[in-house]
Amino acid sequence: MFIKNKNYNLPTKDGFFGEFGGMFVPDNFKHVLIKLDEEFEKAFNDESFINELYELLKEYSGRPTPLYFAKRLTEHYGKGKIYLKREDLNHTGAHKINNVLGQCLLAKRMGAKKVIAETGAGQHGVATATAAALLNLECEIFMGETDIFRQRSNVDRMKLLGAKVNSVTQGTKTLADACDAAIEYWLNHADEVFYVLGSAVGPHPYPKIVRSFQSVIGGEARQQILEKEGKLPNYVLACIGGGSNAIGIFSGFIEDESVKLIGLEAGGEGADTDHTAASLTKGEKTYLHGMYQYVLVDEDGKPRESYSISAGLDYPGCGPEHCYLKDSGRAEYYPVTDREAIEAFERLSRLEGIIPAIESSHAVAYLEYLMPKTKKDDIIIVNISGRGDKDSERILEILTQRKLWIKSKKNI
């Protein structure tokens, strides 16, 4: 069920998707990444490894996840057919477990005793702690202090699973800073730990590794829609920060030019403001975290702070494959604001009884723009990358405050 595209042969041997990607790390560290690439290629082409991984995904995580026809959401727009790929039904509540089980099995295969990871919304941290507990690996997580505050339930879950959670207090205290801290630790302890990177970012071979393990989403979705409709979808939508859930589902359709691939990034308070994480919309090409990519930069051309209500999308850059897909025109990317995502969070909850992660809500929100443009019989797949348990209290508070404000304005 993992996708190995025949005609889409990127990245290059050196890890480039077009001009994006690469391995921009200290020369004395490149041997670690070269070894990782060699071991990954051996494992991913080893039938016994893939069988062991998919057995875990099936029996432990609960794959395949359903491709659900959202009848009431479809009726809300009055045309088309909207399907939801239910990655929220995975064990731990998000798509992250797909990649983490693969990387942790690879870590065991390479003889590692300890894994480390960065996390923003906490779902990757929870998934890593879960897999580490399952496979008897020591686990250490790096998470920004701001994200620890807004994702407390996931922090508690990581600790219950036996992981050590390090609070990162520099910078904006969010995902980018957690990445910096994890990478610094990794550079100093490469002989002792395996870095389980959570998104399709970082130096080669990580974007390739994460894409490969997350391609199970696209492989399943493709098979499921053909079984249900007898044809491919017209549109595939997914939220995007670093880009792992999006590249996972895109991989199942990337060679089909008739399928429009749309990634929705975090617009924050607006892509034209300083409070945004829309790197593909507003970023410039530069280097960050060992790769060449689109990055939000300041007046001096240096990476600047990003912002999003969504901890999982609050990242100033984007994975190199998405950068390539944007420039090549194969995929389209648009910003979605906090407000639009919150409204979509409530809409899907009320219409379908599915509470999505605030990250996934960015993809759901774009239906407001897309559906008026669609044809009567168009098929749309939206990747619901995670569930909204972690966000419910916070979003409900925001909705309540907003409704009280609207009510007070009416009484004036």
Annotation marks residue 96 as catalytic: yes
Rounded to whole angstroms, how far apart are CA atoms 380 and 249? 13
Q: List the domains of the chain with CATH numbers.
A: 16-60+96-207 (3.40.50.1100), 63-92+215-410 (3.40.50.1100)
Q: With 60 as the cut, is the pLDDT of residue 406 above it?
A: no
pLDDT value of residue 408: 53
Rounded to whole angstroms, how far apart are CA atoms 86 and 360? 11
pLDDT digits (tens, 9 = 90+) for 141-180: 999 999 998 888 899 999 999 999 999 998 888 888 998 8
Annotation marks residue 385 as catalytic: yes
pLDDT value of residue 243: 95
pLDDT digits (tens, 9 = 90+) for 175-230: 889 988 998 999 899 889 999 999 999 999 999 999 999 999 999 999 999 999 99
**Which one is catalytic: 96, 173, 260, 326?**
96
**Which one is catalytic: 140, 251, 385, 390?**
385
Buried b (16+ CB within 10 A) or exposed e, 17-37: bbebbbbebeeeeeebbeebb
pLDDT value of residue 236: 98
Section 45-64 average pLDDT? 96
3-state SS string for the chain: CCCCCCCCCCCCCCCEECCEECCCCCHHHHHHHHHHHHHHHHHHCCHHHHHHHHHHHHHHHCCCCCEEECHHHHHHHCCCEEEEEEHHHCCCCECHHHHHHHHHHHHHHCCCCEEEEEECCCHHHHHHHHHHHHHCCEEEEEEEHHHHHHCHHHHHHHHHCCCEEEEECCCCCCHHHHHHHHHHHHHHCCCCEEECCCCCCCCCCHHHHHHHHHHHHHHHHHHHHHHHHCCCCCEEEEEECCCHHHHHHHCCCCCCCCCEEEEEEEEECCCCCCCCCCHHHHCEEEEECCEEEEECECCCCCECCCCCCCHHHCCCCCCHHHHHHHHHCCEEEEEEEHHHHHHHHHHHHHHHCCCECHHHHHHHHCHHHHHHHCCCCCEEEEEECEECHHHHHHHHHHHHHHHHHHHHHHCC
Annotation marks residue 359 as catalytic: no
Section 13-31 average pLDDT? 94
Query: What are phi and psi for residue 380, nearest 5 degrees?
Result: -125, 130
Amino acid code (one letter) for 387 = R
**Which one is catalytic: 87, 118, 352, 359?**
118
Using left for φ > 0, alpha for ψ between -120 and 50, and beta otherwise, residue 62 falls in left
- What predicted TM-score, i.e. pTM, was given to this entire model? 0.94
Amino acid code (one letter) for 209 = I
Considering the chain, what percentage of its residues have pLDDT values greater than 70?
96
Task: Return mean pLDDT, the chain.
Answer: 93
